[in-house]
Structure 1
Amino acid sequence: MNQVLDIAGASGASYRFRRNQESQELPATAGNVIYVRRDESSWALDCCAEIDSLRGAFRGWKEAQAVHQATDVFIRLNVSRAKRREECLDIVEKHQPPIWTLEADS
């Protein structure tokens, strides 16, 4: 299973996310989070979120698993609020995930 996922935005930019498991300690650093549903040959984006602390990356995980059959959580460190928002909106515009939020920690 790949530990990184490069996901394209509507702008054509590519964003690299790192896979995380719920048991792994996450930094309090701000960033972007995506929940993905993967099988052997493809993946679908279930959630994209901009959060102030990556420690909250699993906040909606149980719902995403139950409702959307999400299989993986990927994070991207990104301290700049403006950049996080820009990247999240770019990804959402291209992939139209069923769950997305800005500032999930507020």
Structure 2
Amino acid sequence: MREFIDLPGASGATYRFRLWPQGASHSPMAGNYVLVKADAEGEGYSVLQAGVSDDLSAVRGTLEKAAKRGATHIFTRLNVSRVVRTSEHEDISAALSSKAG
């Protein structure tokens, strides 16, 4: 799996997320995250869930629960400002919803 992924928002903005490797710790910073399912080759992926957290170090359990739906990796984006974090989450979620519908 690649180290970074760029996700488009419905607005046309692009957001860069970094892979949170299995077994690695994460600083307790606020930010956004996405759970993805890697394709068979390990280079492509599909986003299963987008989320936002005041403490990204606490979201590893989210991946474990989503593994039942096929989630294989978690990517994070540090984002201290609550307003920006929420805005980006809404933009990404809107883009994901438009793909699903």
- TM bracket, shorter-chain basis: 0.7 to 0.9
Q: Which runs of 5+ in 1 are unaligned?
A: 97-106
- Provide the residue aligned with 1:89 in structure 2: 90
Normalising by structure 2, we get a TM-score of 0.87
CA distance in 2, matches of 1:8, 1:14: 4
Q: Which runs of 4+ in 1 moved over 3 A?
A: none
Aligned length: 95
Q: Which runs of 5+ in 2 are unaligned?
A: none
Q: Considering fraction of residues, name the structure with more helix.
A: 2
Task: Give me the CA root mean square deviation.
Answer: 1.2
CA distance in 1, matches of 2:38, 2:22: 17
Contact in 2 for aligned 1:18/1:74 (Cα 8 Å): yes
- Provide the residue aligned with 2:6 in structure 1: 6
Contact in 1 for aligned 2:35/2:75 (Cα 8 Å): yes
Normalising by structure 1, we get a TM-score of 0.83
- Provide the residue aligned with 2:28 in structure 1: 28
